[in-house]
Amino acid sequence: MKRKSFVYTAVKVMLLGTPEDQLKNTNEEDKEKTQPAIVTVTTTDDDPTHLPEAAPSVDGSSDSGDDREGTLSNGNKEPSPWQPKDEEESLPWQPKDEEEAALAWQTRDDEEETQAVAASPDGRFLKFNIEIGRGSFKSVYRGLDTETTVEVAWCELQTHRLSKLERQRFREEVEMLKGLQHPNIVRFFDSWKSTVQGHKCTVLVTELMTSGTLKTYLRRFRQMKLKLLQRWSLQILKGLQFLHSRSPPIIHRDLKCDNVFITGPSASVKIGDLGLATLKKASFAKSVIGTPEFMAPEMYEEKYDEGVDVYAFGMCILEMATSEYPYAECWNAALIYRKVTNVHGSGPVGPPLLPGEPRRPRGAG
């Protein structure tokens, strides 16, 4: 009888486990009943071992990766958070979220911007629809020199807005620019006449300066170290010496920190924006053109020489040292003119020229 009871007990343990195992299995079964079903597998009568190609997960998405749209509990597809603007603008693939869609459209826009929209008459220079600057008479775009594969600045000057005298000055300036090559002068490559949106214009292709100007540098850092000031000042002087040593001398007439550009690779400076520069001829040297804060007294008298650029260079030094515009205390050009032309008057007022110096009092020359 005891042997029979032992056999029954052994068989029961083999089938159901020990009482501890039974209790553990019971707890696990209860736990599984409270958990949601993760995967539902259906079988067919013909093939009980057949499984679906991709089992849906809890959120209704597919592991196959082919279908990027979710599925709702009622079997309907969940609408995508991104919808194309129209059928013509739809992407070749369906983004899975708004962020991916925005990135896709940005990539598409970037590809369109890298397509050339114009070319020079000889096909050497290409224009891209990326505007990098704009002025009262000009628009500047990114371009490419196909011979050197170097980026250039494609400048469209609206000559139809210029007066006859300005057009004459500009034509001579273009001829003058073609012969300028100096490490501290923004290089000029080519020019030609063109038509943009029905308006006649002249296209200038120059060296592309992407590191900003002295003006933007001063806005960003406020103070310039003495060694850097000395180095850049020397480079500006070298550029001016080159301009003034031409025959006839070339007068910039609008030299200021806004027109001195910083090169990225070497961190050197170059004089640019020669839109107001011209040859030293009597017919042009009698016109008052420039920025009042940087204009020498003789410019108001409408008779001057290349010395006006040296005066403007001094104003650049003042702005580089103080991070303030010359004559900032004057609120209009008339007051600046009165101070500049008054020989016995005071010079521009500003903070200390160099760190550690006392502030210059108002009225100090």
- What six digits make up the tokens of 272? 């640019």
- What six digits make up the tokens of 123? 């096909």
- What six digits make up the tokens of 364? 């100090």
Q: Is 273 a catalytic residue?
A: yes
CA 296 to CA 251: how far, in whole Å?
13
Catalytic residue (one of 110, 273, 305, 309): 273
Phi, psi at 265, each rounded to 5°: -65, -45
Give the bridge partners for 205, in sequence order: 154, 190
Question: To which H or E segment does residue 193 belong?
Answer: strand 188-196
- What six digits make up the tokens of 305? 């020489």
> SS3 sequence, 22-49?
HHHHHHHHHHHHHCCCCCCCCCCCCCCC
User: Of 282, 252, 256, which is closest to residue 176 (Cα–Cα)?
Assistant: 252
CA 300 to CA 357: how far, in whole Å?
33
Active site residues: 273
